[in-house]
Amino acid sequence: MMNPLLKTLFAALMLGCGACGVPSDEPVSALLFAPGDGGSKYYRIPALVTADDGSLVAVADRRLESMGDLPNKIDIVMRRSTDGGRTWSPASPIVEHRGECGYGDAALVSDARTGELLCIFASGRGMWDTTPETPIDINVCRSGDFGRTWSEPERVTPQLWGSACPNPVSKGWYGAFAASGRALQLRDGTLLFVVAARTGEAFPPLANYVCMSEDGGRHWTLLPTPADMNGDEAKLVERADGSWLMSIRNPAKGRRKYAVSADRGATWSEPRRWEDMPSPACNGDIVRYTLRTDGFERDRMLHSIPLDSAERRNVSVLLSYDEGLTWPVRRTVWSGDAGYSSLTVLPDGDIGLLTEVGNWERGFEIYFTRLTPEWLTEGTDSYR
């Protein structure tokens, strides 16, 4: 696959000349966030969503002075595209750090019932420097104009965990944060995201619990049963039969983990490993692509992950035809050093991917890539 420089030049060529004889299904990448932009030394943590009006919203941590996680001076910034990722607005903040209080690790979801976008993120203390009385916070901002403007952060921590929370399961936890990338809306409108919870003073391990809202993200409930007691950042997708599939970052490098709930999170299967999905203990993304009940020929899911058992490199997009049991289709998008990624489906069925490209030594650039189902499947499938 192309290195970052060649991909950027290729994107400029495609955007500048239109039909120049280059196959239309070749991926096109654009650099959205780079060290030095906006006066920041570093960027990390991509999140991507398609708004109800078809526009794309791409979000990242603007880590001003250090590449590290919270506590740190971090802003959450976004860029917006109204032409399928061909051009993008200038970067603007969703929320900016205040003194020593930073904000980071955003997860996005579009509420189909209202058209609102929700951004769920952490703030304040670091995950390892927090207690039930002095928590790392979980916050929600919302946009009613498809990402142009955003509300002030609403602190929802007391609804979910910490000493101010009435829930006996979580009031004694020492930390919890939502996995960055994509949150989930079920077909009935319920909103979900997964937290990685530090349930005791010692760490690791981290436990994965689901947070649920049935009123558009204004009130949240922590479901009582963990999906995994030795997990990390995790994502959810709804299966065709209504069951939930959780894709879980495995703290041990090797293979990605998953668990299934057939009763809306009341119970979970034992976590298993996808033997066909190597992963280097890294965040990834999983989204619904098509459903037969929506008029498509097949049920399909997409997953993005650094497809390597040891190092964060080779970020690839995978396709499943059996509701996440196996992932037979996969193609590399970034063959070199690359980490976190986020997926979305564009209105015309193309696939959007937002990826950290780089490493801890040189820093990360964040690229948007648009790819077609024909390219992903090498011409054997399409959006139908």
End-to-end CA distance of the chain: 27
What is d(CA 183, CA 93) in angstroms, rounded to the nearest whole number? 20
Residue 294 per-residue DSSP state: G
Domain-embedded: residue 384: no
Domain-embedded: residue 12: yes
CA atoms within 13 A on the CB side of 365: 17
Overall pTM surpassing 0.75 (yes/no): yes
Domain-embedded: residue 383: no
383's tokens: 């959006």
Domain-embedded: residue 154: yes
The CB density around residue 291, as the number of other CB atoms within 10 Å, is 16
Say yes or no to pLDDT of 20 above 80.
no
Q: How high is the pLDDT of residue 9?
A: 41
Q: How high is the pLDDT of residue 91?
A: 98
**pLDDT tens digits, residue range 271-296?**
999 999 999 999 999 999 999 999 99
72's tokens: 């740190």
**pLDDT tens digits, residue range 39-89?**
999 999 999 999 999 999 999 999 999 999 999 999 999 999 999 999 999
Domain-embedded: residue 381: no
Q: Considering only CA atoms, which of 105, 114, 344, 106 is closest in space to residue 214?
A: 114
> Model confidence at 10, in pLDDT bands (50, 70, 90)?
very low
Query: Phi/psi zone of residue 29: left (φ > 0), alpha (ψ -120 to 50 degrees), beta?
Result: beta
> Model confidence at 15, in pLDDT bands (50, 70, 90)?
very low
Domain-embedded: residue 211: yes
The CB density around residue 195, as the number of other CB atoms within 10 Å, is 27
Domain-embedded: residue 382: no
> Model confidence at 204, in pLDDT bands (50, 70, 90)?
confident
132's tokens: 């039930």
Q: Considering only CA atoms, which of 193, 71, 63 is closest in space to residue 127?
A: 71
219's tokens: 């009130």
Number of domains the chain is built from:
1
Percent of the chain at pLDDT exceeding 90:
92
What is d(CA 288, CA 41) in angstroms, rounded to the nearest whole number? 35
**pLDDT tens digits, residue range 127-186?**
999 999 999 999 999 999 999 999 999 999 999 999 999 999 999 999 999 999 999 999
CATH number of the structural domain spanning residue 282: 2.120.10.10
Domain-embedded: residue 77: yes
Strand partners, 366: 33, 356
116's tokens: 């609102």
Q: How high is the pLDDT of residue 24?
A: 58
**pLDDT tens digits, residue range 327-366?**
999 999 999 999 999 999 999 999 999 999 999 999 999 9
Q: How high is the pLDDT of residue 11?
A: 44
Q: How high is the pLDDT of residue 7?
A: 46
373's tokens: 């189902």
Domain span at residue 172? 4-376
Say yes or no to pLDDT of 242 above 80.
yes
Phi first, then psi, for residue 130 (nearest 5°) are -140, 155
Say yes or no to pLDDT of 22 above 90.
no
